[in-house]
Amino acid sequence: MEKIINITLKVWRQKGPKAKGYFETYQLNEISGDTSFLEMLDILNEQLIHQGKEPIVFDNDCREGICGMCSLYINGHPHGPDDLITTCQLHMRHFNDGDTITVEPWRSAAFPVVRDLMVDRKAFDKIIQAGGYISVNTGGVPDANAIPISKMDADEAMDSASCIGCGACVAACKNGSAMLFVSAKVSQLALLPQGRIEAKARAKAMIAKMDELGFGNCTNTRACELECPKGVSISNIARLNRQFLKAKFSD
Amino acid sequence: MYWLLNSSIGRKFIMSVSGIFLVLFLLFHMSMNMTLIFSSSAYDMICEFLGANWYAIVGTLILAGGVVLHIGYATWLTLQNRQARGTNSYASSSQTKTEWSAQNMYVLGVIILGGLLIHMFNFWYKMQFSELIHLEGAVTKGSELVIPLFSNPLYVLVYILWLVALWFHLTHGVWSSFQTLGWNGRTWYPRLKLISNVVATIIMIGFAIVPVFFLIKKL
Ligand code: SF4
Ligand code: FES
């Protein structure tokens, strides 16, 4: 049977980066369990517009869990209570009739609020620009299997590459650390032959940028991997530590 | 070597290495304590070795350096991390199922430091330090100090609570230091977790067994 629920929403509202934020409470009735979380916010926004009020601003794009644009800290979890999904993939059936749902933006000094639930994640782009690429020309498509890559490395590299850059790891971390993101972006390249050449310089440059932008120091709480919608593992962080230390000691 | 100060991984490297050093010291200290159960004269002999001799003093200074580094860097990192978190905190408290010890390392560290200060006053000050500055009444026979204290139930209780805090600190600290050094991965994570728990438990029981032994003996 289809689940229909009535909910109370406590939503963070903030006019601009400098403005003081506050919580606003909204009542929303007869929401189908098949509604996605963002669709539910759409319904709420439509109501607000009809009432002549300002709709709630939130980030989103693909709405199928691949772009990494959606965010939201819902009831104490980045991307809500369900595991291994993004907010756009979260459905209202995970909530019960009469629930109060608290919705907040990512909170981290490096991700300032732009408006309401939308934060500025440009810091991630800056980290990528610092070294998250391969600068050699690898030529045309090489012959398949000309360079053997072990299945383990290939799988690890794919798992690291599944990071969508959403920033939930930073949002979950009590230290505001971006290590899971950076380590995924370093690993996806460092595990493969094309990326290995610049591995040392890349680790150093990306860590330097990460520190400069004011992200915190990782204390291995594992909050990031527990909340990451793509299940990126902290073994990536160990790899990044390893590469960084190796690079510094061989300087 | 400047990177040990100005990069996050460098600072964490210091935390990790100083932490491992302190764990090794704890293991040594624990073995030393345990000799007291078997023979107080053997224990007193070790205490004499570690009196005001140049090697014991050098060892004490290195150890003190390790403690200062570990605490200093911990404070620095914690302050930076609070800043990175930003001024707005979440209204809905975090529901992420992280380990309690991992979230409270600094608080646990403060408790451990408190215990350490009591310990320094009770033992180190009356033994090595008094001997060093030629204070009257410097104690060289450690057992004369330890046994009466360890027969006091209140002291033993505080001591054991302190060890519990230490246990929590180490269950996170040991595997975490290997993670920071880069010695971890999918296969090593469960192993290191196990090693952490084993090391923490050995240290807790190894230290606790001595006061418990004397408390029971007195009864
Ligand atoms: S590591 Fe996970 S949580 Fe962090 S940005 Fe990538 S996908 Fe998001
Ligand atoms: S909107 Fe693209 S991942 Fe959620």
Task: Give B45-66 pLDDT, tens digit per residue.
Answer: 998 888 888 999 999 999 999 9
For domain A4-104, give the CATH number: 3.10.20.30
SS3 B178: helix
For range A203-210, the mean pLDDT: 98
Please give the CATH topology (third level) of the domain spanning A121-249.
Answer: Fumarate Reductase Iron-sulfur Protein; Chain B, domain 2 (1.10.1060)
Contact assignment for B84 to A218 by CB distance below 8 Å: no
pLDDT at B136: 81
Q: Alpha carbon of A53 to those of A57, A114, A145: distances in Å?
A: 12, 19, 60
CA proximity to B102, closest of B196, B199, B201: B196
ipTM surpasses cut 0.90 = yes
Q: Which atom of ligand 1 is nearest to the CA of A164?
A: 7
The CA angle B118-B121-B126, to the nearest 5 degrees, is 150
Domain ranges of chain A: 4-104, 121-249
Q: Which residue of A has its CA nearest to B9?
A: A241
Contact assignment for B86 to A108 by CB distance below 8 Å: yes
Q: What is the pTM of this model?
A: 0.96
Q: In which residue ranges of chain B is pLDDT below 50?
A: none
Say how many CB pairs under 8 Å bridge A and B.
146
Residue A72 CA: which ligand is closest? 2
For range A84-96, the mean pLDDT: 97
Q: Are B16 and B182 in contact (CB under 8 A)?
A: no
Contact assignment for B98 to A233 by CB distance below 8 Å: no
Q: Which of A202, A221, A234 to mutate to test the interface with B (most CBs of B within 10 A)?
A: A221
Of A42-46, A132-136, B199-203, minimum mean pLDDT range: A132-136
By residue range, what is the domain housing residue B144? 3-82+100-218
- Categorize the per-residue pLDDT at A10 as very low, low, confident or very high, splitting at 50, 70 and 90: very high
**Residue B93: inside a domain, yes or no?**
no
User: Smallest CA–CA separation between B15 and chain A, in Å?
Assistant: 10
Cα–ligand 1 centroid distance for A225 (angstroms): 8
Give the number of domains in chain B: 1
**Residue B94: inside a domain, yes or no?**
no
| Nearest-CB residue to B185 (from A208, A215, A238) | A238
The tokens describing A246, both together, are 């190796």
pLDDT in tens, A61-83: 999 999 999 999 999 999 999 99
Please check whether residue A94 touches B, CB under 8 A.
no
CA proximity to A176, closest of A205, A209, A217: A217
CA proximity to B4, closest of A200, A186, A245, A206: A245
Cα–ligand 2 centroid distance for A215 (angstroms): 23
**Residue B87: inside a domain, yes or no?**
no
Q: Which residue of B has its CA nearest to A74?
A: B92
User: Smallest CA–CA separation between B129 and chain A, in Å?
Assistant: 36
Q: Which of A77, A212, A233, A241 to mutate to test the interface with B (most CBs of B within 10 A)?
A: A241
Residue A185 CA: which ligand is closest? 1
Please check whether residue A21 touches B, CB under 8 A.
yes
% of chain A exceeding 90 in pLDDT = 92
For range A170-184, the mean pLDDT: 98
Q: Which atom of ligand 1 is nearest to the CA of A180?
A: 1
Please check whether residue A209 touches B, CB under 8 A.
no
Whether A66 is in the pocket of ligand 2, judged by its Cβ within 6 Å, is yes
The answer to whether residue A243 scores a pLDDT higher than 80 is yes
- Angle between helix axes B54-85 and B105-119 (nearest 10 degrees) is 150
**Residue B14: inside a domain, yes or no?**
yes
Residue A60 CA: which ligand is closest? 2
pLDDT at A1: 63
Report the residue among A39, A59, A61 best suited for mutation to probe ligand 2: largest number of ligand atoms under 8 A from its CB: A61
Cα–ligand 1 centroid distance for A166 (angstroms): 5
User: Smallest CA–CA separation between B173 and chain A, in Å?
Assistant: 9
| Nearest-CB residue to B84 (from A74, A175, A240) | A175
